[in-house]
Amino acid sequence: MASRPRSRSRWAVSSAMVASDVLSVPPGPLPREGAASPGARPGHPLWRARPYRADVWLAIGLAVATITVTLVSSGRAPYHPPDAVTAALATVSALALAWRQAAPLAAMAVTSTIVAVNAAAGYAVVAVQWPAWLALFGCFSVGGRGVRIASTALCVMAVGGYALFDRGALTVEDMAGITMSFLIATVGGDAARSRRAVAAAQHAQVRGEAREQALAAERLLHEERGRLAGELHDALGHTVNVMVLQAGAQGLAALADRIRATGREVDLDAEPVDLSAGSERVLYRIVREALTNAVRHTDTGRIRVRVSRVADQIRVEVFNEGAGFASPVPGRGLIGMRERARLEGGSFEAGPVEGGFRVLATLPTHPATGS
């Protein structure tokens, strides 16, 4: 579809235009096979499909380029000189691309018809063919099977009308250019569609994995809350273990000695604090869990344990010296420590910091009476 005296440069420009379109396909859900145009909502007429903003700008830019090239390059014998009809056909064809994704088959029908009408009117095809190839690309990139088949039929109609009505002689170079442009539009559009399908599948996989991790963490949280609630209920009617009740200097010193027995260096600095039995249990178990994790996940490095009072809060810090620590994955141990601190009205955080890994918890000197 071109003015035959200028076939070689004509098809190079058309192919470049189609190829550049491959890079501008926005991500989005793919229509199911045989579905209607993605921009047309069910129950609404096709002409009410809302075009994408990027396609509107593409159509405007292409309209300017098409009109300019048509007016400059047309008019040589045996074709009519450019006039208002030529400009109108080029403008309508280019602006139809505003719906190349919202209503791709409609855009293809308009651009293909204009190619045939342009040839029947005696005008050189020149740039009026560009929107048709871009519309064909759009049909193959966003349309379902039915849209792709129908767009191919429209393309054949346009090429047939051009071959039948054009005033020039159809050459082998013309047919080669038409064939190459058709292959670029269809294969390129299908490749863009496949790329979007792969991206959508990867996105769905990432969302699914994130959802599974969130559900697993939520299950652990509910399990830990239930277990802690049982512990608190039992504590109301039973004598607390002597070791837990002495979770002050004696209990923490015993914990430090047990870790030192494994070959690790432990610095313990615990100020005398006045806590309720429940808060003492929480303090002791947080330190025990933090020390256990330090020994479990690292083989070397000094471990520092600090218990101090800051205003009306007790600050508990366990610092494991080292490098290369990754952000912790929520598990039963971390969730348990966080929930114990929360139930006492305190706070908890754990993660890598400069120089090592830190577990930091705060407990009120007068713990909350509720959860």
- Domain of 348, CATH number, reads 3.30.565.10
DSSP class of residue 45?
-
Residue 270, amino acid: A
Question: Given the structure tokens 């399908």, which residue do they identify?
Answer: 197
Contact yes or no for 95/43 (Cβ under 8 A): no
Looking at the domain assignment, is residue 212 inside a domain? no
Tally the C-alpha atoms within 13 A of residue 88's C-alpha that lie toward its C-beta: 5
Reported confidence tier of residue 241, pLDDT bands at 50, 70, 90: very low
Range of the domain at 326: 242-364
Based on the domain organization, do 26 and 125 belong to the same domain?
A: yes
Average pLDDT, stretch 48-70?
A: 82
Q: Are residues 160 and 25 both part of a single domain?
A: yes
Domain termination site, one of 204, 223, 253: 204
pTM: 0.46
Q: What's the gap between Cα 295 and its chain centre?
A: 39
Look at residue 239 and tell me whether its pLDDT is greater than 80: no
Does residue 49 share a domain with residue 141? yes
In a domain, 160, yes or no: yes
Residues across the chain:
371
pLDDT band at residue 338 under the 50/70/90 scheme: confident
Residues with Cβ < 8 Å from 253, sequence gap 6 or more? 268, 270
Q: Do residues 194 and 77 share a domain?
A: yes
At 243-296, the pLDDT tens digits run: 444 546 677 888 888 888 888 899 998 887 777 777 888 888 888 888 888 888
Least-confidence region, from 128-132, 187-191, 273-277, 338-342: 273-277
Domain co-membership, 252 together with 309:
yes
CA nearest neighbour of 67 among 1, 105, 123: 123
* Residue 127 reports pLDDT greater than 50: yes
Domains of the chain: total:
2
- Shared domain check, 290 and 153: no
pLDDT at 166 over 50: yes
Of 204, 234, 265, which residue is a domain's last? 204
pLDDT at 358 over 90: yes
369 belongs to a structural domain: no
196 and 250 in a common domain: no
% of the chain surpassing 70 pLDDT: 76
Same domain, 68 and 163: yes
pLDDT above 60 (res 1): no
